[in-house]
Amino acid sequence: MVINAIKMIIPCQCLLGEGPYYSRSFNSLFWVDILSKALYRFDFTQQTLHTYHMPEPICWLMETQDQQLIAGFENAIYYLDSNTLQRGLLYYQLNEPSGNRLNDAKTDRHGHLFFGTMDKLEQQNSGSLYRLGNGKSLQKVDTNYVISNGPAISKNGRILYSTESSSRTIYQFDLNPQGKLSNKRVFAKFDESMGFPDGMTVDNDDHLWVASWNGHGLYRFNEKGSVSSFYRLPAPRITSLTFFGDDLTSIAVTSARTGLGEDMLEKYPHSGAVFILQANVQGIAETPVQLT
């Protein structure tokens, strides 16, 4: 099995934990609780956990090429001061429907930022996938998402994976160095027993890892779209993951408590925690956002 053990459980009890992100320059693991409007930072140097409360839902955080933090909030992108985490507006003109919010994000190997939007009520296919960076203006690159999740980039940088969670479908696109997408096709579909595909990443063997909402764990797919392994976790609503550490063989996995009744929370008390796993495969370092 590609997962050796759960090394640690961080009991942050997130309503909707998402967006784990490892920063080498800060030697920290960041993640968000979208519904609680909170940003978390686990400092590996100090071995301390910090919680920062935000004025609105925060959906993801990343680092730019000049080591600035940027974050996607409900309907805008902001700089975050690296010391105080105070906000400074970066991009606001998304022209999204009022019932939408930002969701998952990832960079390609050239630093283009790809992020999705979703209908907060999870009913309308009003969400989209956007691209920003490398001196280019914001561009909508795909549409018709109820819940846009992922995305993830292949090892060679030539494929982008994007999930439409409500239909349990993971798509592939061809991706060129300028960030242009083409040739959209279905890569894999979850059946009902697998839950719903959520956040994703790719390892150094070019296998796609997918967090499963209501699926209790992580699926690992080979390049042909077949499941190569599954790792069960002690929480049903697994939301996202990232590789981290000096050798990128540790994995941070976020989860959620929202929507779980008392019986389920009693059965799965670690729901909403961050799980730290040890793997025998290596991840790929995230490319910083190249804004200019």
Known catalytic residues are: 198
Q: Which is nearest to 159 in space by CA: 136, 132, 188?
A: 188
User: Which helix (H) or strand (E) element contains residue 89?
Assistant: strand 87-91
d(CA 29, CA 44): 8
d(CA 127, CA 143): 6
d(CA 209, CA 163): 12
Q: What are phi and psi of 2, to 5 degrees?
A: -75, -15
Task: Give, in order, the Cα–Cα distances in Å from 149 to each of 106, 115, 173, 196, 214.
Answer: 10, 8, 14, 10, 15
Q: Which is nearest to 197 in space by CA: 150, 236, 130?
A: 150
Whose tokens are 């630093």? That residue is 111
User: Which helix (H) or strand (E) element contains residue 265?
Assistant: helix 262-267
CA atoms within 13 A on the CB side of 265: 12
